[in-house]
């Protein structure tokens, strides 16, 4: 894949997820040195009937399988929404170097909200975390999606 703006690519994945009727969350994994995108995914929980098919988990699975290594230490993850606790754990287990997310999620987030997974003493790997990147654009995607369903 190419060297595009990773958060813009994650937003594109989120838009595709929304078009499929999924909650519009997108994620991309990039090489931390080159910015090359290794994996990109959007939510597929409804399509796959799988509650773990969050964008982050799907991107991590794809990158790990493609590279033949469950540890993605030289990768950065860009995701449009603050990861939930499950995704925060997957990010930690994959040893991802940096997590960059768009919109904060006070209700379901597991990084800056809720369980604050990386602040727990049982967390073995804590990525660098940067929140609020393209926050308005990412948040608007979600607001529009849920507004249309009410």
Instruction: Quick: pLDDT tens for 8-46.
Output: 999 999 999 999 999 999 999 999 999 999 999 999 999
pLDDT at 136 over 90: yes
Whole-prediction pTM:
0.95
- Which residue carries 């997957």 as its tokens? 90
Number of Cβ within a 10 Å radius of residue 135: 15
Instruction: Report the distance separating Cα 9 and Cα 6, nearest Å.
Output: 5
Average pLDDT, rounded, for the chain = 96
130: which strand partners? 100
Catalytic residue among 13, 56, 82, 134: 56
Q: Is the pLDDT of residue 2 over 70?
A: no
Burial of 27 (C-beta count, 10 Å sphere; 0-12/13-18/19+): buried
Q: Which residues contact 143 (CB under 8 A, 6 or more apart)?
A: none
Q: How far is CA 76 from the centre of its chain?
A: 10
Q: Is 54 left (phi over 0), alpha (psi -120 to 50) or beta?
A: beta
Residue 10: name the closest of 50, 55, 53 by CA.
55
Q: How far apart are CA 82 and CA 104, in angstroms?
A: 5
| Cα–Cα distance measured from residue 37 to residue 29, given in angstroms and rounded to the nearest whole number | 6
Task: Decide if 56 is catalytic.
Answer: yes
23-33 pLDDT, tens digit per residue, is: 999 999 999 99
């Amino acid at each position: 894949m190419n060297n595009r703006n990773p958060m813009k690519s994650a937003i594109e994945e989120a838009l595709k997820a929304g078009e499929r009727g999924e909650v519009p969350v997108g994620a991309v994994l990039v090489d931390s040195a080159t910015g090359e995108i290794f994996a990109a995914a959007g939510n597929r929980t409804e399509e796959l009937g799988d509650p773990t098919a969050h964008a982050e988990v799907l991107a991590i699975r794809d990158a790990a399988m493609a590279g033949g290594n469950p540890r993605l230490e030289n990768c950065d993850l860009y995701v449009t929404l603050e990861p939930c606790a499950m995704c925060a754990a997957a990010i930690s287990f994959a040893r991802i170097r940096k997590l960059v997310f768009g919109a904060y999620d006070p209700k379901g987030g597991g990084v800056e909200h809720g369980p604050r997974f990386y602040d727990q003493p049982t967390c073995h790997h804590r990525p660098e975390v940067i929140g609020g990147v393209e926050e308005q654009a990412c948040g608007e995607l979600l607001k529009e999606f849920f507004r249309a369903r009410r």
